[in-house]
Amino acid sequence: MQDTLPRRALPVRAGGPLPILAILGVLLVLVAIRQPDFLAPASLMSFLGRSAPIILLAAGQYFVIVSGEFDLSVGSLVTAEVVIAARLIDGDPDRTWPVMALVLVSAAFVGLVNGLITSWLRVPSFITTLGMLLILVGAVYLWSDGSPKGELSEQFRRFGRRAVEDVPVLGRVPYALLIVLLLAVLATVLMRSDFGRILVAVGDNPRAAELSGVRVGRTRTIAFVLSGCAAGVAAILLGGYSGVSFQAGSGLEFSAITAVVLGGVALGGGRGSVAGAMLGALTLELLFALMNFFGVSGTVRPAVQGAIILLAVAVSAARSPSR
Amino acid sequence: MSALSFRAARRTVPGVYLALVLTLAIGWLVVVLSGGTLFTQATVVSLLHVAAGLGLVAVGQTLVIIGGSLDLSVAYVVSLSTLVAAEAMNGSDTALLPGVLLALAVSAGIGLLNGLLIARTRIDAFIATLGVGLLLKGYLDSGYDGPAGATSPALVQALGYQRIGPVPMSFLLLAAVAAGAWLTLRRTRFGHHLLAVGGDPEVARLSGVRNDRVLVAAHVLCSLCAGLAGVYLAARLGSGAPRVGTEGIYDLESIAAVVIGGTALAGGRGGVAGTVGGVLLLAGLDAVFNQLQLDAFAKQVVRGVVIIGAVAVYARRVIGKGRS
Amino acid sequence: MASLAAVIVLSLAGCSTDEPVTGPSGGPPSTGAGTGEQSKFFVSADYEAELAMLGATATGPAGKPWEQVLNPTMVDTASFKKAGPHKICFSNAALNNPWRQVGFKTMQAEVETHRDKIAEFVHVDAEGKDQKQIADINDLLGKDCDALIVSPNTTATLTPAVEAACRTGVPVIVFDRGVDTTCPVTYINPIGGYGFGHVGAEFVAQKMKPGGKVLALRILPGVDVLETRWSAAKLVFDRAKVDVVGVEFTDGDPAKTKKIVDDYLQRYGTIDGIWMDAGAVAVAAVEAFQDAGKPVPPINGEDQLDFLRMWKDQKLTAIAPTYPTYQWRTPIIAALRILDGEQVSNPWKLPQPTITEQNLDEYLDPDMPPLHYAMCGCTGLPGYPQRWK
Amino acid sequence: MTTPGDVGSLLDLRAVTKSFLGVRVLDRVDLDVAPGEVHAVVGENGAGKSTLMKIISGGYAPDEGTVVFAGEARRFRGPRDAGRAGIGIIHQELALLPDRTVAENIHLGHEPVRRGLVDRREMRARTSALFASMGAGPVPADALVGDLGVAQRQLVEIAKALALDARLLIMDEPTAALADHEAELLHALVRRLRSQGIGLLYVSHRLAEVFALSDRITVLKDGRRVTTVPTAQTTTNQLVRHMVGRDLSGYYPGRADPGDLGPVRLTVQGGGNAKLRGIDLRLRAGEVVGVGGLQGSGRSALARALFGVTPFTSGVVELENRPIRVASPRAAMRAGIAYVSEDRKGEGITARQSVLDNALLAGRALGGAWTGRAARVTRMRGLLDAVDVRSAGTDQEIRFLSGGNQQKVVLARWLALGPRVILFDEPTRGIDVGAKAAVYDVVRRLARDGAAVLMISSDLPELLGMSDRIIVMREGRIAGQVPAGASEADVVALAMGAVAAT
C-alpha cells in the first residue's frame, strides 16, 4: 500500500551504493588487520585485475535485472566463448583479432536471442535463460566432443593476464583493470543517459513506461544484448587469465546475480545503480580473498558465503520501506 | 452481455501429455527404425525410476511456484535427507521408521527456514533459497567426504527395487504424493489459499487469507517432498550420498519440469498433473536418447529447446485467451 | 549491521580452522601433524598394498601396459564361454571431463580393432548421476548383452546395481572406480589413488627446501578416488614434517586456482611446494607463480600435455604421477577373453607409470591437443591421432 | 431511526481521522448504522468515502477516533479480522482472481469443509443459492472469472461479500458498472438484505438510487462529515448543495469562447474495436470535450483506442486531415497525441524513480537526440515549477509525493511534448482540492494553447464545469452529446438511457 508509507525522509536513498560501500569498507579493514601488505599497490592491482571478469558480469547482469529480468545464461556463455575462442585460434596468433571480434559478436547475438525470446514470445526470462544455459553447455560440449580443443594465443591471453609495467606508484596495472575501468565509466555514463533512465523505468513499471512511449521489449532486449556483450568481454579476460577449460564460467551466473543483489539492486527491477552492482562483485571477490587470508576451510566457505548473503540482503530488505 | 456464453472451467489435460505422447511416439519410431526397441520392461522400469526421483522433488517445487515463490535449495535438501536417513538407519531395519521420520523432520525444518526468510524477512525467494542452499552445501562439504551410513535393507528392498510389473514402488510413491498434492490444491483450504496467494497476494489478503502462513507451509511441503526424494534415493543407492542432489541438478531440473508442465512461474496457475507430465517427458527424452546412444550433450540442447518451446506455447495461449 | 555480521561470521570461521600460525612448524600437536584427521575412506591395508605394487614388476607383453598385470591371481571363466560375435554393453559414469573423453575414445578404438568379435557395442552415459547409472544398468540388463562393463560413478552407491547385474549371469567387468562386492568377474584399475598421491607427495617433500610450506590443491571434496590420493599424500607430509599451509578446493576451475595460489603467495610470501590431487589445474597453478614473479616450486601434475609442455619449456621441478587412460582398453580385452573362456586376473591391477624428468620426452607429442592425456596407450590404435584431436 | 451513539446501533464511528503523507483524508468523521438500515454515503470523488469504508472493513487503521461494532470498540488488524466480526465489503476495484472459478473466488478465505476437505459440491450449491437469492441471472459456479464480463464479475464480487454472512455490508459503488436491469436486481437484493436485519453502508454516485434505497444519508466533503439526514427529509437539490457547497464558477477556469476554437485536430469515423462500436468524433483545437458515461461504458476504451493502447480495428482516424494509423502508444505520441491514464499508480508513474526521471520519461522515450539534453532538463525543471509540484527536490522518489503532486509531474511529462491532442482519463481521481484546481488550470491552458482536449470524468460537477461540450457514452457507443451549461440530469439521462433518467 503505497499510501501508508511512513513519511520520514530516508537517511540513505534506497538502492544507493552506500550500504555496499560500508560492507566493502569493513572487509577492507579486516584485510588491513589480517594482511596489511595486501593493500600495497602491487597486490591490490593484481587483485583488481583478476576481479575484472566477475565485475563485468555483474555490470551486465545489472542491466538485465534492473529492467526486471534475469540472465542465467551468462556463466555458460563465458564457458562457450572461451572454448570457441580456443578451438578457433588453436594457438595461431594471427587469428587473435578476428576471433576476439567473433567472440564479442556471438556473445551479443546470444543476448539478442535471449531478449527476443523473452520479449516477443513472452517466455519468462528465468526460463529463457535457463534453456539457453542448457543449450549453450550442450552445444559447446557437443561441438568439442566433450573436451576443449585448441589453445588460446598469447596475444589473446595478454588482456586477462598481462599488465602495463612500470607505472609510477602503482607498479604494474593489469590490462583487465584498465578495460574494466573503461567499461565501468561507459556503463555509468550509459545509466545516466536517456537509455539508462528508461531502462530503470521499464523495470520499475513496464506498463507506465509503455504508455509513455517506451518500447519495452526493445529496451529489455538491449539489456540482454549488453549482458551478452559483458559476458563476451568477461570471456576474453577470463580465458586470458586462466586459459581454456570447461570450468571457465561455471556458476558465474549465480555469483553475478548475488553480487548485483549485494550491491543493493532489487530483483524484479527498478532500483539500484550499476556502480553498486560492480562494487557488490568486488565485495564478493574480496570476501573470497579474505577467506583465503583467514584460512577458512574450503569446505565451510559456501556456508560463510551463504550466511553473509542472507544477512546482507535481510538487512537491506528490512531497511527498505516497500513491502 | 447475455449473449456471452460461458466456457465451463474444464481443467483440461495439460498439453504436456500430448507432447509426451508425441515424444514417445517419435522416439519409438526412430528407435525401431534404427533397429532397437524402446518399450522393453527394463527400459520402462528405468524410465519410471528416473522419473520417481525427479518427480518427488518437482511436485514439491510445483507447490512453491504456484504460491509465487521458488526453491533453489532442494538439491541440497535431497542430499542431506539421504544422509540423515542412511546414518540414522545405519543398516538396521528396526531404525527404518525413525530414520525416515528424522530425515523428513530435518527437511521440513529447512523448508520452515526458507519460508520464514521469504515471508517474514521479505528476502526474494531466489536469493533466500540460494543462500540456504549454500549453507547446506557448506555443511555437506565439511561433514562428508563421500557416501555415508547404510539404508535399512528392508527399505532398499521395498522402495529401492521392489516393483509391481513394470511399475516400481518408488513410482507408486510418486503417484501417491502427486495425488496427495493434487488433492491438497483442489480440495483443501490451504490449496485454495495457495493458488490465491500466487495469483494475487493483495486479493488473497483482502479475502482474509494469511499469506505468510500459506507461503511458509508451501515451503515446508516443498522441502518435505525433497526430503522424501532423499529417502527414496537413500533406498535406491543403499547409503547416504552427499552429492546426489547436486549431481542430479534437482534444483533446475525440477523447475524445468514444473514449467514444462504448464505451471506459471509467476504463480497462481498450474498443477501437479502437468508437472508429472513434465517429469515423464524429461525422463522419456532420457530413455530415447539412451536407446539411440546419442550424446548426452545433444540431449542437453534438446532439453533447453523443449523448456523454452513449452513455455512459449503456454505464453501464446494465455495471450490468445486474453484477447478473445 | 550486515557488515558487523560479516565480521563475526568471518572471525568465527577463521577461528574454527586449525590454521597454523605463520612460522616453520605450526598446527595442533595432538594430531601429530598439520593436516588433520585421516579420511574415513583411508584403508591402511589397501594403502600398504598399493605402495608395495609401485615397486613391483608387471607380467604381460612388454610395451603394452594395458595388457599387463601386477601380482596376477587368475580366475576361471570357462562358464562364460560363448561363441561370437558378441554384444558388449558399457555403463559409463560420465563423459564430462577430458580424462573420460580421452579414455572413452581409446575404448572405442579398441572396440574397432575387434570388429570380427564384437558385433555391437552399446554405450550409455549416466551423466555423473548415481541414480541414472543404476537405471542404466537395469536397462542394459534387458538388452541381452554378452558382457557388461561398468565404470561406476560412486563406489558405495553403485554396489547394489552391480550385484543385481551379477545375479543375471552376465559376466560383469568393473574398471576405474570399484564396487564393494566381489561378484564381478574382474575389477580392472591401475595401482590406484594411494599410489598417485604418494608419488606426488614424496617428490614434493623431497625436492622442496626443508621446513618449507606446501599448498595442497584439490578438486572437490567427497570423491573417493581423490580422497585416497589426499590420504596418501597426508601420510607423506606428516611423516616428513612438512608444513602444509593450506588444503583448498579448486572445483577444477583454473581461475579459482590462480586466485587461491595468488592469495597464498600474498599471505606467506613464498610457497615451497604444490601438491595436487589431479592435474587439471596444474598449469593454472604454475601460471600463478609466474604472474606473481615468483619461482615455481616443486609441483606435481598429471599426464595432460599442456602441463608436460610447460614442464619442458619452463624447466620445472615437476613430476607427473598418472592415472593412465589406457585402462579403458583393458575392459574390452578382458571381456573378449572372458567370453572366450580364457583365464583373467581378478583383480586386474595395471601398472601406473610415473612421468619424470628422465622420460618426459617420450610423452611429449607436439601434434596432440593440450588437454590430451599422454598415457593413453593409443598411438597404435586405429584412427590415431585424428580421433583424439 | 437511531441517533449517533445509540445503544441499538450496529456500527458507530466516532471522530475517525486519517492522514496520508500529511494530507488529512478524513477529519473527525462520525457515522453510525443500525441493523436493518441502509445508510448511504455520498460525496464527490476524493471526499474520503473509500478511505472511510476501508477503515471500517479493516483495510486501514484510523489515526484517531474509535470504531464501535456491535457494542464493542474494535481495532481490526486486517480484512480477515473485520470479516470474522461480521463486516463484509464489496470493493470498488474488483478483488477477484481471474484464473479461479466463480465458486472458488466467492468462497476464498472461508471455503466450506467436510471431513477436512473442501466441499466443492457444497461450494457450488452455495454459489447457486447465493445467485438465486440475489435474483441474478445464472452465473455458472465453475466458470473462470477471467472469462466473465465486467457486470458478471461485479455480481461475483457481491456474492463473495454476501457469502460471509455479514451483519454489516459495505457496498462501494456497486452499481457503477452494472446495466439497468442488473442494477434493479441489486436494489431488490439490498431491500431483501435490509429486511433480514443486515446493516448496509451504501456508497454511490447515483442520487436516484440513493433516494430509492436508503434510510439515511451522510454527506462527506473534503474528508469531513457535512451532515447526516433521514432520506425522507431531504431532496436532491439540498443534497447536491451539501456535496458541492462551493461556488463552481470560481473553481473552474473559464470556458473557451466559440471564437477561440481552431481548426479540427482529430476526427474519428466509424471507429470500433472489441469494446467500441461506431465511434464518430471530431475534436477541434482549443476545446475541452468532456466524456461522460458509466464505468464500463467505453469511456476509457475510447481514450485507449485513440492512444493506440487497444487500437481501433475498424474506422478511420484523421489527425489534421491526414489519416493516421495509431497502432501503439508510441505511434500516437509521434502523431502528437498524449494520454493521462486513470490508473496513476499502475500506468502513470514509475514509483521508485525520481520526480525528474518521471517527468522526462516520455520525452526520453521519443527523443533520440543526444544534443539538447541539458536544455531539456532545464526546461523540465521550469515546467515542474510552473505546474507547482511540491517535492523535496526533483531528485526525490515520486512515491513520496502526494497523489496531486504525482499527477502534476505526469502532466509536466506530457506538457513538455507540446501535444496537439491530449486525452485525460479521470485526471483528478484521488487528489486533493488544491491540486485539482491546478490540474484544471493546466487542462484549460493546454486548450488555450491550441490543443484539442478530451477529458473523461465520473465527477459530474467537474465534467460540467470543465467541458465546452460533453459526449456521453453507453455500451460502447456515443449515446449523445450535451452542450456546455447542461445539467447533471441531462448527462445522467444519456448515460443510463432515457428510462432511468432522474
Peptide bond preceding C369 in cis form (omega within 30 of 0): no
Clarify whether residues C278 and C382 are in a common domain: yes
CB atoms within 10 A of CB A124: 17
What is the rounded distance in angstroms from the CA atom of residue C53 to the CA atom of residue D245? 106
pLDDT (0 to 100) of residue B38: 76
- The CA–CA distances, whole Å, from B229 to A255, B56, B143, B273, C368 equal 28, 5, 21, 18, 45
Are the beta carbons of D154 and D106 closer than 8 angstroms? no
Are the CB atoms for B86 and B144 separated by under 8 Å?
no
Angle CA D413–D417–D419, to nearest 5: 110
Average pLDDT on B157-175 reads 91
Closest CA relative to residue D242, chosen from D256, D231, D228, D230: D228
Highest mean pLDDT among A54-58, A250-254, B204-208, D122-126: A54-58
| C-alpha to C-alpha distance for C249 and C251, rounded to whole angstroms | 6
What ranges make up the beta strands (E) of D222-313?
224-230, 264-272, 279-284, 288-293
Predicted confidence at residue B319, as pLDDT, reads: 58
Q: Sort strands D38-42 and D216-221 into parallel, antiparallel or unpaired.
A: parallel
pLDDT at D88: 86
- The whole-chain average pLDDT of chain C stands at 87
> CA D502, D213, D222 angle in degrees (round to 5)?
80
Q: Are residues C315 and C328 in the same domain?
A: no
pLDDT digits (tens, 9 = 90+) for A52-105: 999 999 999 999 999 999 999 999 999 999 999 999 998 899 999 999 999 999
Whole-number pLDDT of residue C10: 43
Query: If you average pLDDT over residues D445-468, what whole number do you get?
Result: 89
Q: Measured between alpha carbons, how far is B290 from C143 in angstroms, rounded to an integer?
A: 12
Same domain, yes or no, for C112 and C179? Answer: yes
Q: Contact at 8 Å (CB) between B263 and B65?
A: yes
Residue C42 counted as domain residue:
no
Average pLDDT value for residue range D401-430: 90
Q: What is the mean pLDDT of residues C95-106?
A: 91
Residue with the bigger pLDDT between B52 and B290: it is B52
Looking at the complex, does the CB of residue C127 fall below 8 Å from at least one CB of chain A?
no
Number of A/C CB contacts below 8 angstroms equals: 157
Q: What is the mean pLDDT of residues D152-180?
A: 79
Give percent of chain D with pLDDT exceeding 90.
Answer: 38
CA A88 to CA A94: how far, in whole Å? 11
The answer to whether residue D135 scores a pLDDT higher than 90 is no
Q: How large a percentage of chain D has pLDDT more than 70?
A: 90
- Does any domain span residue D242? yes
C170 vs B: CB within 8 A: no
B and D make contact (3+ CB pairs below 8 Å): yes
Q: What percent of chain C has pLDDT over 70?
A: 91
Mean pLDDT score, D172-200: 78
Inside any domain, residue C21: no
Helices (H), D396-452: 403-415, 433-448
Compute and round to an integer the Cα radius of gyration of chain A: 20
Q: Are both C174 and C282 inside the same structural domain?
A: no
In this prediction, residue C9 carries a pLDDT of 46
Contact D152 B205 (CB under 8 A): no
How do residues B40-84 score in pLDDT, each as one tens digit? 888 899 899 999 999 999 999 999 999 999 999 999 999 999 999
**Tens of pLDDT, residues C201-248:** 999 999 998 888 999 999 988 777 888 999 999 999 999 889 999 999
Find where cell 485526471 sits. Answer: D427
Report the top-level CATH class of B42-316. mainly alpha
Clarify whether residues D168 and D284 are in a common domain. Answer: no
Q: Residue D6 falls within a domain, yes or no? A: no
Task: Give me the pLDDT at residue A312, please.
Answer: 84
Residues C209 and C261 both lie in one domain: yes
Is there a contact between C156 and B45 if contact means CB atoms under 8 Å apart?
A: no
D224 and D258 assigned to the same domain: no
Nearest to D227, CA basis, from D236, D211, D216, D237: D216
Average pLDDT over residues D292-311: 89
Report the chain A residue with the minimal C-alpha distance to residue B265.
A124
pLDDT tens digits, residue range A156-197? 999 999 989 888 888 889 999 999 999 999 999 999 999 999
Domain boundary among D206, D229, D247: D247
| CB-nearest partner of D351 from A2, A194, A209 | A2
Q: Can you list the alpha helix ranges (DSSP code H) found in A193-322?
A: 194-204, 206-211, 216-242, 252-262, 274-294, 301-319
Which of D231, D247, D263 corresponds to the end of one domain?
Answer: D247
Give me the residues paired with residue C348 across strands: C188
Domains of chain A plus CATH, in order, are: 11-319 (1.10.3470)
Kindly give, in sequence order, each residue whose CB lies less than 8 Å from that of residue D394, ignoring residues fewer than 6 positions away: D354, D355, D356, D359, D381, D384
Give me the number of domains chain D comprises.
Answer: 2
Average pLDDT over residues A23-42: 91
CATH of the domain at C124: 3.40.50.2300
Check A208 against D307: CB less than 8 A apart. no
- Same-domain check for residues C171 and C214: no
Number of H helices, E strands in chain B: 14, 2
Same domain, D284 and D238: no
Supply the pLDDT for residue D19.
Answer: 85
Q: Is residue C27's pLDDT more than 60?
A: no
Same domain, residue pair D173 and D54 = yes
pLDDT band of D475, cuts 50, 70, 90: confident
In a domain, C28, yes or no: no
CB D79 within 8 A of CB D57: yes
Give CA–CA dist C173/C170, Å, rounded.
Answer: 10
- Identify all chain D residues contacting B191, using CB atoms and an 8 Å cutoff: 118
Nearest of B41, B60, B158, B233 to residue C131 by alpha carbon: B233
Instruction: Please give the distance of CA D362 from its chain centroid, rounded to a whole number.
Output: 25
Q: Structural domain boundaries of chain B? A: 42-316
Picking from D376, D213, D180, D385, the residue whose alpha carbon sits closest to that of residue D296 is D180
Reduced to 3 states (helix: H, G, I; strand: E, B; else coil), residue C126 is coil
| Chain B residues touching A110 at Cβ < 8 A | none
| Integer Cα distance of A208 and A191 in angstroms | 19
Question: Residues A142, A83: contact at Cβ < 8 Å?
Answer: no
Instruction: Determine the average pLDDT of the residues in C93-99.
Output: 89
DSSP letter (8 states) at residue B10: -
Rounded-to-integer distance, Cα D105 and Cα B199, Å? 11
- Which residues of chain B are within 8 Å of residue A132 when distances are taken between CB atoms? 304, 308
Q: What is the mean pLDDT of residues A11-39?
A: 82
Closest CA to D99 of A268, A1, B257, B192: B192
> Are C262 and C346 in a shared domain?
no
Locate the DSSP E strands across chain B. 163-164, 167-168
Q: How far is CA B203 from CA A222, A322, D59, D96, D119, in A?
A: 34, 18, 12, 6, 22
Integer Cα distance of D502 and D499 in angstroms: 9
Asked if residue A306 has pLDDT above 70, the reply is: yes
What was the pLDDT predicted at C15? 39
- Whether chain A has a CB inside 8 Å of the CB on C290: the answer is no
Residues C389, C243 share a domain: yes
Nearest alpha carbon to residue A83 among C219, C254, C291, C277: C254
Same domain for D209 and D300, yes or no, is no
pLDDT at D399 over 80: yes
ipTM of predicted assembly, 2 dp: 0.88
Q: Are B234 and B133 in contact (CB under 8 A)?
A: no
**C118-157 pLDDT tens trace:** 999 999 999 889 989 999 999 899 889 999 999 999 888 8
* D226 & D311 share domain: no
Q: Which of A268-272, A292-296, C182-186 has the highest mean pLDDT?
A: C182-186
pLDDT, mean of residues D51-78: 88
Q: Do D78 and B321 touch (CB under 8 A)?
A: no
Q: Is the pLDDT of residue D445 over 60?
A: yes
Please tell me whether residues C86 and C209 are part of one structural domain: no
Please give the average per-residue pLDDT across B180-200, as a whole number.
94
- Total domains in chain C come to 2
Determine which helix (DSSP H) or strand (DSSP E) holds D100, and give its type and residue range: none
Let me know whether D204 and D184 are in one domain: yes
Are D143 and B1 inside 8 Å of each other by CB?
no
Domain match, C299 and C214 both? yes
Torsion of CA C137, C139, C145, C150, to 10 degrees: -10
Using CB atoms, which residue from C221, C253, C266 is nearest to A38?
A: C266
Is D307 within a domain?
Answer: yes
For residues D245 and D447, give the distance between their C-alpha atoms in angstroms, rounded to a whole number: 28
pLDDT at D1: 42
Of A123, A134, A317, the CB nearest to B121: A317
Say yes or no: D59 and D130 in one domain. Answer: yes
Number of C-beta neighbours around residue D372 at 10 A:
11
The answer to whether A35 faces chain C, any CB pair under 8 Å, is yes
- Do both D227 and D258 map to the same domain? no
Asked whether residue D287 falls in the same domain as residue D243, the answer is no
pTM of the predicted model, to two decimals? 0.89
Clarify whether residues C90 and C156 are in a common domain: yes
- What are the angstrom distances between the C-alpha of B319 and each of A121, A239, B313, C208, D102? 10, 43, 10, 69, 21
Residue of B323 and C136 predicted with greater confidence: C136
CB burial class (10 A; 0-12, 13-18, 19+) of residue C30? Answer: exposed
Q: Shortest Cα distance from A235 to chain C (angstroms)? A: 12
Instruction: Report the CATH number at residue D20.
Output: 3.40.50.300
Model confidence over C288-329: pLDDT tens digits?
999 999 999 999 999 999 999 999 999 999 999 999 999 999
- Under a CB-based contact definition with an 8 Å cutoff, are residues B114 and B71 in contact? yes
Question: What's the confidence (pLDDT) of residue D8?
Answer: 73
Residues C97 and C148 in one domain: yes
A293 touches chain C (CB under 8 A): yes
Residue B323 pLDDT grade (very low, low, confident, very high; cuts 50, 70, 90): very low
Q: Which helix (H) or strand (E) holds D182?
A: helix D180-195
Query: Among residues 61-120 of chain C, which lie with CB inside 8 Å of chain A?
Result: 95-98, 100-102
> Who wins on pLDDT, D178 or C300?
C300
In which domain, by residue range, is D49 found? 11-247
3-state secondary structure of D1: coil
Examine the domain organization and report whether D390 and D324 are in the same domain: yes
HEC string of B126-164 equals HHHHHHHHHHHHHHHHHHCCCCECCCCHHHHHHHHHCEE
Q: Which of D181, D215, D247 is the last residue of a domain?
A: D247
Q: Which residues of B106-135 are buried (b: 16+ CB within 10 A; e: fewer)?
A: bbbebbebbbbbbbeeebbbbbbbbbbbbb
Are D195 and D327 found together in one domain? no
Closest CA to A70 of B130, B276, C251: B130
Burial of D137 (0-12, 13-18, 19+ CB in 10 A): middle
- Listed in sequence order, the residues at least 6 apart from D377 whose beta carbon sits closer than 8 Å to its beta carbon are D356, D360
Residue ranges in C215-275 assigned as alpha helix (H): 224-239, 254-268
Residue C373's domain comprises 193-322+354-389
